[in-house]
Amino acid sequence: MIALLALFAVWTGWRVFRVDSMVRASFALMLSFVSVGAIGVLLSAPYIGVATVFMMAVEMMVMAIFMVMFMMNPAGLNPMVMVHQHRLSIAAGVLAFVGLSAAILLSPLPSDPVPEGSDVVAQLGHELLGPSMLVFETAGVTLLATMVGAVILSSRQGWFGAADHGSRPPDLTAGGDPAGRQPGDGGGHGHHHHGGH
Amino acid sequence: MTLTIVLLAAAALIGIGLYGALSQQSFVMLMMGLELMLNGALLAVVGFWSQSLGGMPEGQLMAIIVMAVMAVEMAIGFALIVAVYRKRQADMTESIGTLKQ
């Protein structure tokens, strides 16, 4: 069962980069997360597993909404291949898999499973609000900072206009033209991909 | 045996995620690669905790931290995408090539 779920998680993970629509890709990713959560439940980590499923279901819905808002071709009506440095990426992925697999297969893995009938969720709760409270609280404050940062980053410009208003990039050579994109020339080449390639 | 299967699946997820993060041009697809790598990390943590730690609760804590990292990555990543899109109308990595200079 666990092997089947693991296989399904990997297959759906692979589908993420093979389907033609980004919404489908996000649902494939969600299926991958759900099967990882189910593996967690089967491996006697019910809290982690169920929390993963809930969190990822919501997260992928948000992702799907983002796709529809910003991205080309959310419905997958025409083929979608948008990749760069393809060979390098394949090589890096395969290398990572082969290296990790070799490490897994060649090293002696300790075997000390969770004792039968131990109350893992209660243990987790006592750990979170006991010895590891500092870690837990730090994660909470980090999430709060994340919320503030996300709001600031995604909000419209502040009271005093754009942050780079009137700024000028430094010259590449003394007295020469400013480097890079000039402020105020807009997006320039933003939407060149909307033909669908 | 279970641990080996789970860890191999985690390794495969990390490999696929690395491929996606390096190869995709769209920011959102790129973030899906990152999420897939974190998915593999979560799977490996849960597998190790379940099969070789004798039920130490710190293992579950580790998994919770991985999930917190996922949430942070997702929120800040999408906020950055929105910010870049507002500023440059860009949703592909090639569109912000001036960062190279």
In chain A, where the domains are located = 1-73, 121-154
Work out the average pLDDT over A8-29.
86
Distance of CA B100 to the CA centre of its chain: 24
Q: What is the structure's pLDDT at B24?
A: 85
Mutate to test the interface with A, among B3, B7, B16 (most CBs of A within 10 A): B16
How many residue pairs from chains A and B have C-beta atoms closer than 8 A?
Answer: 265
Question: Would you state the pLDDT for residue A141?
Answer: 95
Specify whether the backbone of A82 is left (phi greater than 0), alpha (psi in -120 to 50) or beta: beta
In tens, the pLDDT along A25-75 reads 888 999 999 999 999 999 888 899 999 999 888 888 888 887 777 665 555
Residue B24, judged by CB atoms within 10 A of its CB (0-12, 13-18, 19+), counts as buried
For helices B2-23 and A86-106, what crossing angle results, to 10°? Answer: 160
Please state the rounded mean pLDDT for residues A115-120: 84
DSSP conformation class of A186: -
Lowest mean per-residue pLDDT among A80-94, A148-162, A182-196: A182-196
Least CB–CB distance from A13: residue in B13, B58, B83: B13
- The confidence score (pLDDT) of residue A72 equals 59
Amino acid A49 reads: G
Q: In which residue ranges of chain B is pLDDT below 70?
A: 97-101
**A123 contact residues in B (CB cutoff 8 A):** 55, 57, 60
Q: What is the pLDDT of residues A129-185, one digit of tens each?
A: 989 899 999 999 999 999 999 888 877 666 666 666 666 777 777 777 766 665 555
Residues in chain A within 8 Å Cβ distance of B68: 139, 142-143
How much is the pLDDT for A153?
A: 83
Chain B nearest CA to A118, separation (Å): 8
Q: What residue of B is the nearest CA neighbor of A92?
A: B19
Q: What CA–CA distance (Å, rounded) separates A39 from A55? A: 16
Do A80 and A21 meet the contact criterion of CB atoms below 8 Å apart? yes
Q: Which residues of B touch A132 (CB under 8 A)?
A: 58, 61
Predicted pLDDT at A146: 93
Rounded to the nearest angstrom, the gap between the alpha carbon of residue B42 and the centroid of all alpha carbons in its chain is 9
Q: A95 or B25: which carries more pLDDT confidence? A: A95
Q: Domain with B74 in it: what CATH number?
A: 1.10.287.3510
Residue A72, both tokens:
């080309």
Q: What is the pLDDT of residue A161?
A: 67
* Minimum Cα–Cα distance from A117: chain B residue: B55
pLDDT at A189: 44
Which residue range is the domain that position B65 belongs to? 2-100
Q: How far is A77 from chain B (nearest CA, A)?
A: 17
